[in-house]
Amino acid sequence: MSLEQINKASEVQAYSIFESCCCAPNWVNQMIKARPFNDAVSLLKVSQNIFLQLTEQDYLKAFTGHPQIGNLATLHKKYANTSSTASHEQSGMSSAEKEVLEEMVELNQIYLQKFGFIFIVCASGKSALQMLELIKSRIGNERLYELKIASDEQVKITTLRLEKLL
């Protein structure tokens, strides 16, 4: 997709385009309002600046657009608007051993119960074992600290998706 197509898209089309990168409505709406973008660098900079203004509720909404790491069964069905990018991002899990996947699923549930949101990590380029080690290292965090880490990971994911979009 070209920058020109993004700039000239109707609001409905632009909403769909940006939602495929991050499903937080406040982020999406601010990206739509910020158009037109002069270049890819300005698009990414605006995105970063919008993220700095988001609230906890915005991030929690963004997190709902992700499947749990390792939960490949629901990836295509439940997360249709981001399934193609998410499945590529989680490709390290697709070749994981059964035991690693089972442990990841178990830790995902513990994490969700503790923090009230799913484990978010920019999974691109990470192996299943690396992601397993990350969840293990983060599960002992305090909620506010973990929310900050997860929101930073969300920014990374969205930035990668915007770059791939262009």
Q: Which tens digits make up the pLDDT trace of 39-94?
A: 999 999 999 999 999 999 999 999 999 888 876 555 444 434 444 444 445 555 65
Q: Which tens digits make up the pLDDT trace of 128-158?
A: 899 999 999 999 999 999 999 999 999 999 9
Q: Give the pLDDT score at 152.
A: 97
Q: Give the pLDDT score at 82.
A: 45
Is 88 among the catalytic positions?
no
Q: Give the pLDDT score at 113.
A: 97
Which residue, 143, 166, 164, 165, is CA-closest to 60? 143
- pTM for the complete prediction? 0.84
User: Counting Cβ atoms within 10 Å, is residue 141 exposed (0-12), middle (13-18) or buried (19+)?
Assistant: middle
Catalytic residue selected from 30, 43, 66, 92: 66
Q: Give the pLDDT score at 93.
A: 62
What is the spatial distance between Cα 21 and Cα 23, in angstroms, rounded to a whole number? 7
Q: Which tens digits make up the pLDDT trace of 106-115?
A: 999 999 999 9
Q: Give the pLDDT score at 77.
A: 47
In angstroms, what is the C-alpha Rg of the chain?
16
DSSP string, 50-109: HHHH--HHHHHHHHTTSPPTT-TTTHHHHTTTTHHHHHHHTHHHHT--HHHHHHHHHHHH
User: Counting Cβ atoms within 10 Å, is residue 69 exposed (0-12), middle (13-18) or buried (19+)?
Assistant: buried
Domains of the chain by range and CATH? Answer: 3-61 (no CATH), 66-154 (1.10.3330.10)
Q: Give the pLDDT score at 44.
A: 98
Helical H runs in 9-55?
11-19, 25-34, 40-53
